[in-house]
Amino acid sequence: MNAQTSSVGHPTSGHEPVFVGDRRNELDDILTRYPTKMAALLPALWIVQDSRGWVSEAGMAEVAEALELTPAYVKGVVTFYTMYHQHPVGRHFIQVCTTSPCQICGAEEVRDAFLRHTSCEELGVTSEDGKFTVIEVECLGACGFATPVMINEQFIESVTPAKVPEILRGLK
Amino acid sequence: MGYPHKPHGRETTVLSKHFGNRDAITLDGWKKFGGYKALGAALEMSPGDIVTLIKDSGLRGRGGAGFPTGMKWSFMKPGDGKPHYLICNADESEPGTFKDREIMRWTPHALIEGCAIGSYAIGAETCYIYIRGEFTEPLERVEAALREARQAGIIGKNAMGSGKAINIWVHKGAGAYICGEETAMMNSLEGRRGNPRIKPPFPAVSGVFGQPTTINNVETLAAVPPIINQGANWYKKFSRSDNPKSTGTKLYSVCGNIQRPGNYEVPMGFPFKDFLYELCGGPPPGRKLKAIIPGGISVPIQTLAEAEASLMDYEGFVAQGSMLGSGGVIVVDDAQNLVRFIARAARFFAHESCAQCTQCREGTAWTTKIVERIAAGDGSIEDLDTLLSIADNMTGKTICVLSDSCATPVVSGINKFRADFEASIKKRTMHPVPAVA
């Protein structure tokens, strides 16, 4: 490996820092709530994801530096939790609950309808235009409103296959 | 009330009185309904007196385990010179359960008031409300309510002018069912992977950040202000005359194949049969109820006969082969294949296993493979014995009970609904054996 490739391969090269200005203040404020810096790890990762759409290796390295942790430790935590995206996802990230209570109310048909109408070829694979990613999610905690679907931060209750085209039309 | 439906005449609405009422969301609105009166009264009491009152009320944990709340609080020793912590478990992710979500959406101040009283009673200056990351609306509403309460001086460095510091913060989860387990939640709060810890030490001795900690469910804490306001005797009245061990009202989230899914609040000891048919409207037209899970997917499946004979309290469900659990009622009708349902439940647990313990990591994965194979029509009758043997190895042998929870629907399903499994197995394609010449 020559010097040039190692520099290109460094996780923070070309990374625009997340924790500057308001976001740095937000993190500083969060740090006052806990007796350890490490406790701010989940909130810090949320700040990264909210500002960048996903948590890159460079983002993890920046969090690690801010909280005096190692990048490997941060990655270990990131990989434990399903909501942190470790790679970019579609502009509309669609999560369909298909756990047992929703399954018996037809959630699998809702999932299939989203796949069909977004032209996503399979679960977890972003559509070619980069607009959609559809995944199955485990229990969203709204079982009486089957089928609940989350599209980014938006929580939609009582989705049926028939409602899917209209929901998708409403997305920017 | 039967939110999103109109309240049923036989409900007793204490916690759910204001579900669906936008006026109850804000501080001004909440005060009109008598909000923060209980906190004011509690701050005039000694922490010990509050603990005694909650003990006397008979309130038990609403998250699933049913541990007496007052006794849990009494394990904390205010004034021992250590920082104490209260954690409110708002990670509600037990399939079938969506009651805490409605408490946080409609009455966030009720929860904050309960958290503040609980913090004071156990000598905690800091309380974290751990809310699952997917609950975007409850997160917003609780955050907004906390801002209002801080601004009004209800919580903060000098809560309601009492000279006591009660700081309450929201900690947002990031997608992990296991973080609803109290020791996993503490690890998650500390910025670690959400692996459960071995107990002992118990949280009251060494909890979050190594300090004495109490963890209570949302519904448990929301029940505290009404008890302070109306007394232990009032709360104890909500029980059946022959069972003083379960008191108060309980929220049930009802889902699955039922006419009116939603949240219902009834006193302890309410007849489950009336609940299912009268309050919730029974099965969809033309169908019959087949199997009921009364307390979230981790509790044993009931046959219809067991469900119809159940009285809705901690002891009543145990007497009929199940548990009250979280109060997440999942109703399955006769049009459903129970094997598919159980296969999906097993997949849930396999996905959510933290993989620390071998029995759980391997057991949840193999259980899923085998039940899915049966559901697909490729199972054999021997698979049922294999499943029961795996389940035996998954029960009571791990750090937390996720492993047991995966075994539960499988074991109760095979024992109580064996015909469903056998029907799936008989569908298996038989390869004809050529006749011997």
A70 touches chain B (CB under 8 A): no
User: What SS3 class is residue B62?
Assistant: coil
In the predicted model, what is the mean pLDDT of chain A? 93
Residue from B19, B94, B98 to probe the interface with A (highest A Cβ count within 10 Å): B98
Q: Which residues of B touch A36 (CB under 8 A)?
A: 190-191, 209
Q: Before A35, cis peptide (omega within 30)?
A: no
Alpha carbon distances (Å) from B381 to B42, B154, B368, B386, B428: 60, 62, 16, 9, 10
Alpha carbon distances (Å) from B75 to B49, B84, B122, B371: 14, 11, 9, 43
The C-alpha atoms of residue B345 and residue B177 are separated, in whole angstroms, by 13
Name the residue among A109, A97, A111, A94 with its Cα closest to residue A145. Answer: A97
Q: Is B171 close to A41, i.e. CB distance below 8 A?
A: no
DSSP string, B128-165: EEEE-TT-HHHHHHHHHHHHHHHHTTSSBTTGGGSS--
How many other C-beta atoms can be found within 10 angstroms of the C-beta atom of residue B49? 12
pLDDT of residue B210: 97
The C-alpha atoms of residue B152 and residue B364 are separated, in whole angstroms, by 49
Question: Which residues touch B52 (CB under 8 Å, ≥6 apart)?
Answer: B70
B116-142 average pLDDT score: 97
Question: Which residues touch B28 (CB under 8 Å, ≥6 apart)?
Answer: none
Q: Is A143 close to B95, i.e. CB distance below 8 A?
A: yes
Q: Is A83 close to B136, i.e. CB distance below 8 A?
A: no
pLDDT digits (tens, 9 = 90+) for B319-376: 999 999 999 999 999 999 999 999 999 999 999 999 999 999 999 999 999 999 999 9
Structure confidence at residue A9 as a pLDDT band (50, 70, 90): very low
Res. A7: pLDDT tops 50: no
pLDDT of residue B312: 98
Q: Is A83 close to B134, i.e. CB distance below 8 A?
A: yes
Q: Which member of A35, A45, A144 has the closest CB to residue B253?
A: A144
A35 touches chain B (CB under 8 A): yes
Helix (H) or strand (E) run with residue B120 in it: helix B108-122
Q: Which member of A83, A98, A105 has the closest CB to residue B133?
A: A83
Res. B434: pLDDT tops 80: no
Stretch 78-137 of chain A: residues touching chain B, C-beta under 8 Å: 80-84, 95, 98-101, 103-105, 137
Structure confidence at residue B79 as a pLDDT band (50, 70, 90): confident
pLDDT of residue B67: 97
Residue of chain A whose alpha carbon sits nearest to that of B259: A144
Closest-CA distance of chain B to residue A33, Å = 7
Amino acid at B33: F
pLDDT of residue A8: 44
Name the residue among B285, B293, B290, B219 with its Cα closest to residue B255. Answer: B293
Q: Which two tokens stand for residue B320?
A: 């009929």
Q: Which member of B174, B253, B345 has the closest CB to residue A42?
A: B174
pLDDT of residue B437: 58
Contact between B194 and A80 under an 8 Å Cβ cutoff? The reply is yes
Q: Is B137 close to A155, i.e. CB distance below 8 A?
A: yes
Structure confidence at residue B129 as a pLDDT band (50, 70, 90): very high
Name the residue among A54, A149, A55 with its Cα closest to residue A99. Answer: A149
CA B115 to chain centre: 17
Res. A5: pLDDT tops 80: no
C-alpha triplet B200, B201, B206: angle, nearest 5°: 160
Closest-CA distance of chain B to residue A53, Å = 14
pLDDT digits (tens, 9 = 90+) for A44-102: 999 999 999 999 999 999 999 999 999 999 999 999 999 999 999 999 999 999 999 99
A107-126 average pLDDT score: 96
Res. B15: pLDDT tops 90: yes
pLDDT digits (tens, 9 = 90+) for B26-51: 999 999 999 999 999 999 999 999 99
The C-alpha atoms of residue A95 and residue A107 are separated, in whole angstroms, by 11
Give percent of chain B with pLDDT exceeding 90.
Answer: 95
Question: Which residues touch A1 (CB under 8 Å, ≥6 apart)?
Answer: none
The C-alpha atoms of residue B359 and residue B381 are separated, in whole angstroms, by 23
